Amino acid sequence: MQTKTMQFNEVQVGDKLPELAIPITVALISNGALATRDFFPGHHDKDAAIELGSPHIFMNILTTNGLVQSFIERWIGPGCRFQDIDIKLGMPNYPGDTMTFMGEVTAIDPEKRTVEIGLAGKNQYGMHVTGTVRLVLPLGEKI
C-alpha cells in the first residue's frame, strides 16, 4: 500500500495501476452492507437471496464503491482528493469468487491538477464494476 501520495507531475496518461485481487467472502458482503446501513436481505441472508433467484448473497453498490476507492488509494496514496467516482455495476459479486481490479490513467488536466482513471473489476462471471474516477493531486515540484 502506498503511504506517500503521488504528486501531479508523477502521473502520466497511459500509466497502468497494479492489478488488485479481492477475495469475495460472506463477511465482506454482509459487513459491507450492514456498515452502509443496507438491510436488504439479499446482502446478508442466503435463504432470502435464494428466494429472490440468486445463488447466494451478493455485494451492494456501496461496498463496491468503497473497494473502488481503496483500489485507487493503494496506488496513488492517501493524500489525494476524490472529485468524482462514476461507476456502473455489471455481474454480481458472490462469496467464494475473486474480483480483480485493473485501471489506467486516461486523462490529465494540468490547469485543474486532475487525473482521470478508467477502471474495471472483473470476477468469474464478467465485469462486476466499470467506471471512472477523477482525483485532484498535490502539485509537486516543477520538472
- pLDDT tens for residues 109-128? 999 999 999 999 999 999 99
CATH of domain 8-136: 3.10.129.10
* 108 pLDDT above the threshold of 90: yes
- Sign of the torsion formed by the C-alpha atoms of 2, 134, 118 and 70: positive
pLDDT in tens, 1-24: 667 899 999 999 999 999 999 999
Q: Domain extents for the chain?
A: 8-136
Residue 88 CB partners (closer than 8 Å, separation 6+): 129, 130, 131
Question: In angstroms, what CA-CA distances link 42 with 56, 58, 67, 119, 131?
Answer: 8, 6, 19, 26, 24
Helix (H, G, I), strand (E, B) or coil at 120: strand
Distance CA 93, CA 77 (A): 26
Q: In the predicted model, what is the mean pLDDT of the chain?
A: 94
What's the pLDDT at 1?
A: 64
What's the pLDDT at 4?
A: 87
* 26 pLDDT above the threshold of 60: yes
What's the pLDDT at 139?
A: 76
pLDDT tier, 143 (very low <50, low <70, confident <90, very high otherwise): very low
Of 139 and 65, the one with more pLDDT:
65
